[in-house]
């Protein structure tokens, strides 16, 4: 492949799931060989859809997508396919390894697992790995295909700091073409050459050279320039109208002048540019606490961690009451998500939740949601589970604050983007009014513009809370009263 050769070209591409859900409208962009490009845009704008179109899984309504058929393309998805979770590591890689002529695939698996810095016995089942370990397996399943074009969909989700740094170093040294979807600006800025920005309002793809911070600066300058131009044109148009009114009252030939001045003012108003609209952010919100509880909400006396694939029992003296927040930390694979799951479903022998305490559980894979439900039914059920009166106006107003519109309310959850599922999960927690919040990597998939608002809501939550997050900047915004380091 020649350097700087164009390997992906979208030419006036249009795509829609329905007339009400248009994703692209005459989108144009190109990617050259060896480039590392970021795809950014609001949750639900269609970033993953573009990946599916590059993979050939979705076809454009019109326009053309030109990709050399001789190039190998591989994608590391956001989450493991549920059908792959029962597979062993060996069977998982056999499924994604393209070259059937290679007999010693175990050696290939060992090589690619070393690249992603993961120790994984070949007989271990994929579903038994932690979220961070599964993220590494997804990357490895793409790399083992030796692709010319590598597509990474939110690759830092669930990764701990060491995992993110390892992935960053790998991508800096990577020689082939790579497109990355991510909301982690600092991660992206370490290696990307440019940004493909999918505008959810215009349905166009804007192409920029430089990192995300460069893009933000240029967009801000563009908005300022457009606002200044519009203000100047509006001022001149108003002056023309006022002068036209004076001339119109004088009669004679001045009436004709007045008419022309009004036409000129109208023309100037028509020529005002549409100022670019920024990504919307969710409204500030608070998660109400269950009112009919008191005393110890959660007690943890012992818990299990995983070391070298074996469970080890540890003692603890954690007692959470109202207004008390606990941060769980530790490396990928130590057992954080397993501990949260056993706490939430009451199967932990060493922990006890207070009688009658309502639990709001945010899982990183959104498996607490019924994917067959509509968004409306999911939120309606949360209001029922809260024990309160179901109020239609409250439900829809709350949903609107999380950018959940009427069309989205009718959609089944399985058709939402991962970021939209995250917003539905937070909306559900708000309507549920829990006494205990259990949050497993709540920043995953969420547009970074929403994170300060979410952090503020968690910081102010009056009930008991258990949080797992690898994003330090997010955690620093939240009041933490207790710490439990699982790796110590």
- Residue 140 in this model has a pLDDT that exceeds 70: yes
Mean pLDDT of 55-84: 91
Pinpoint the alpha helices (H) of 190-282. 212-250, 253-270
What confidence score (pLDDT) does residue 200 get?
A: 81
- Residue 117 in this model has a pLDDT that exceeds 70: yes
Mean pLDDT of 132-152: 91
Top-ranked range on mean pLDDT: pick from 188-197, 416-425, 429-438:
429-438
Span 6-215: which CATH code?
Answer: 3.40.50.300
- Residue 274 in this model has a pLDDT that exceeds 70: no
In angstroms, the CA 255 to CA 244 distance is: 8
pLDDT digits (tens, 9 = 90+) for 195-244: 898 888 888 998 888 776 777 677 667 667 767 776 777 777 677 777 76
Indicate the range of 52-56, 58-62, 187-191 predicted with least confidence: 187-191
pLDDT digits (tens, 9 = 90+) for 95-106: 887 665 556 788
Residue 89 to residues 93, 96, 105, 124, 340, Cα–Cα distance (Å) = 6, 11, 12, 6, 25
What confidence score (pLDDT) does residue 164 get?
A: 85
Are 6-215 and 298-485 the same fold in CATH? yes
- Residue 429 in this model has a pLDDT that exceeds 90: yes
Show me where the domains of the chain are located: 6-215, 298-485
Strands 194-198 and 177-181 come out as unpaired
Q: Rg for the chain (alpha carbons), in Å? A: 27
Give the torsion sign (CA, 458, 459, 465, 468): positive
Q: Which CATH superfamily is domain 298-485 in?
A: P-loop containing nucleotide triphosphate hydrolases (3.40.50.300)
Indicate the range of 26-35, 171-180, 235-244 predicted with least confidence: 235-244
Which of 165, 131, 488, 484 has its CA nearest to residue 329?
484
Find the length of the chain: 488
Directed axis angle between helix 392-401 and helix 375-385, to 10°?
Answer: 120
Which helix (H) or strand (E) is 300 found in, with range? strand 298-307
**Token pair listed for 167:** 């992935």
Q: How confident is the model at residue 69 (pLDDT cuts 50, 70, 90)?
A: confident
- Residue 122 in this model has a pLDDT that exceeds 70: yes
What confidence score (pLDDT) does residue 272 get?
A: 57
Indicate the range of 3-7, 31-35, 37-41, 229-233 predicted with least confidence: 229-233
Top-ranked range on mean pLDDT: pick from 261-275, 337-351, 437-451, 456-470:
456-470
pLDDT digits (tens, 9 = 90+) for 357-374: 999 999 988 989 999 999
């Amino acid at each position: 492949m020649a350097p700087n050769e164009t390997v992906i070209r979208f030419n006036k591409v249009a795509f829609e799931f329905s007339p009400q859900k248009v994703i692209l409208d005459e989108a144009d962009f190109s990617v050259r060989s060896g480039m590392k490009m970021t795809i950014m845009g609001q949750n639900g704008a269609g970033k993953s859809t573009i990946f599916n179109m590059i993979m050939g899984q979705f076809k454009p309504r019109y326009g053309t997508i030109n990709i050399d058929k001789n190039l190998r393309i591989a994608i590391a998805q956001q989450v493991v396919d549920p059908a792959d979770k029962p597979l062993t590591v060996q069977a998982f890689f056999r499924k994604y390894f393209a070259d059937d002529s290679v007999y010693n695939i175990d050696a290939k698996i060992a090589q690619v697992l070393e690249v992603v810095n993961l120790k994984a016995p070949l007989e271990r089942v994929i579903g038994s790995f932690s979220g961070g370990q599964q993220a590494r397996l997804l990357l490895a399943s793409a790399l083992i295909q030796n692709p010319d074009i590598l597509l990474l969909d939110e690759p830092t989700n669930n990764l701990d700091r060491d995992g993110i740094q390892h992935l960053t170093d790998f991508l800096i040294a990577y020689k082939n073409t790579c497109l990355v979807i991510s909301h982690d600006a600092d991660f992206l800025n370490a290696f990307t050459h440019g940004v493909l920005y999918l505008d959810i309002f215009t349905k166009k793809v804007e192409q920029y050279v430089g990192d995300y911070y460069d893009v933000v600066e240029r967009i801000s300058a563009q908005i300022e320039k457009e606002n200044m131009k519009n203000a100047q044109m509006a001022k001149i148009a108003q002056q023309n109208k006022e002068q036209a009114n004076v001339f119109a009252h004088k009669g004679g030939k001045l009436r004709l002048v007045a008419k022309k001045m009004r036409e000129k003012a109208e023309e100037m108003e028509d020529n005002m540019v549409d100022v670019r609209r920024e990504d919307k952010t969710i409204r500030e919100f608070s998660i109400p606490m269950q009112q009919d509880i008191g005393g110890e909400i959660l007690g943890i006396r012992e818990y299990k961690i995983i070391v070298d694939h074996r469970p080890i029992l540890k003692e603890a003296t954690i007692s959470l009451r109202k207004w008390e927040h606990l941060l769980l930390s530790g490396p990928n694979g130590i057992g954080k998500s397993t501990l949260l799951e056993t706490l939430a479903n009451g199967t932990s022998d060493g922990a006890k939740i207070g009688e009658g305490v309502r639990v709001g559980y945010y899982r990183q894979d959104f498996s607490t949601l019924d994917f067959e439900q509509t968004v409306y039914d999911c939120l309606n059920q949360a209001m029922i589970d809260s024990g309160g009166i179901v109020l239609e106006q409250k439900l829809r107003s709350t949903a609107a604050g999380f950018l959940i519109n009427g069309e989205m309310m009718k959609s089944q959850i399985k058709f939402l983007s991962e970021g939209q599922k995250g917003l539905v999960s937070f909306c559900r927690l708000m309507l549920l009014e829990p006494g205990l919040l259990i949050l497993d990597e709540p920043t995953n998939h969420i547009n970074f513009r929403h994170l300060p608002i979410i952090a503020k809501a968690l910081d102010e939550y009056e009930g008991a809370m258990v949080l797992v997050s690898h994003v330090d900047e997010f955690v620093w915004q939240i009041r933490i009263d207790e710490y439990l380091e699982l790796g110590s």
